[in-house]
Structure 1
Amino acid sequence: MASVQSDCRQLCQAVYTKLPRELRDEVYQYLWSDLRDRQWVKQRLSLWSSPYTYCLNNQRHIFFDPDYMGIEVARESLDTLNRCFHISPLIKADQNISLYLNTDVFGLGAAPKSAARQIGIRIDLHPPEPAEESETKPRGDAADDWAAENFAHLLEVEQKSRLRLFVGIWIWGRAVGLAQIEKMMAILRPVLTSLRDDAAETTIRLSFMKPLYWDNGHRRKPARHDVCGGCEDEVMAKAAARYGSR
């Protein structure tokens, strides 16, 4: 194994020293051309905060493992993966966004806040719960303040002009009205506006979900209808035109 690692590092060092970056990028793109390899990385980025995946997340794909590639080539390989294939981890809104942005998941000295080119945020909106339920969760103004502070950490991204941010808002049930959606938009608006001012690209998608149902004894996935746009006002205008009666 040590001999294989050494031979691989020597080959990668030759590529690094003798080829210009443009040609090295073509090599990296060829390495990452298999969708299964890219999905491997995306899965580990998306599950980074789950305790049971800790050991998996500490594994490196050979294409950016310094033991095989050398640290310089490993970093370039990961950068090409992010830049050319837009690997976008999906962060749920109740996760700590700052922790994600500042965690060097693969140990290459490239935390997402400095390396990220695309980030996805998922927000689930459910009908308001009775006051006596979910007492352990922040509620009302406290929940809104926590969400605003959490989303504000997106401004920690260092190179905003190359960032593509996708925000997916999943709406579960007709009891979630446009007023509740607009309230979430108001929380997001200062952060998204600031990112766009710094030349980041933002996309917002509202997914109106229909309930699960059974068909001939089989459980079917909920149907959904999407409304998409680049900014909050555009999305809300489309949603109001289509779902104004909610």
Structure 2
Amino acid sequence: MSRWSLATSGTILLALAGVLSAQPPGAGPGGGRGGPGRGGPAAALFDPTGYWVAQITEDWKERIHPAAKGDVGSIPVSAAGRREAAAWDPASANSCKAYGVGGILRMPGRLHITWEGNNLKIESDAGAQTRMLSFGTPSGQAGSLQGVSVASWDRLTPALTGFTLGGRGGGGGGSLKVVTTQASPGYLARNGVPYGAKATFTEYYDRQEIPGGPALLVVSVEVTDPDYLNGPYWYSVHFKKQADAAGWNPQPCDAR
């Protein structure tokens, strides 16, 4: 459907507003992505802090139990990536590679998100991992499992003047955008489906308020990797807000 058709159909536009958060990053009409913003709680478009528990509503089987060796599922793996996945040896593999930036969000478990000054810290009890999200100056350690991340508040631009697209965060709508590079090689799936050191991870975090229930944190992810992927790999995950730290149980991964 053309952008002109969308602009002339208010019904379709309003329906689109309700599902826009489920689209892959950058897929909305006209892009809908703004520029980087300031960091710190005062600049936040919504409150991402607190304890969040993973809702395993997508790819349940693969996220709970590793798929069979060589099974890449729907990941657009290149020939080199397939060879790497086929050579995976669970007996000798570094299991922490599955807890890097490319796989940690798909792990069953919980996140604990807090502010440290003007930066956000994301801790995961699965693998006992920590990510630092910096607004402006890149934060993190090059060559580490979590890489180097830059965050920004990404305001949602209405597709047509006079319409307000709801359902994306607060303060007029928008996302927390995080771009991560320079991570050490890891696994997109626990059965050794690889990503390399040149991979880029672009994440959009959106808070969804649920009437009569706890809020959801929806994370849409795009992975690009010239070494092991034929094209972009998109996925999304959901986390439910907890009132407290119940169930929080950090378990380090086995680096062997």
More strand by share: 2
Global fold match (TM > 0.5) = no
Task: Report the TM-score when normalising by structure 1.
Answer: 0.27
TM-score normalized by the length of structure 2: 0.26
More helix by share: 1
CA radius of gyration, larger in: 1
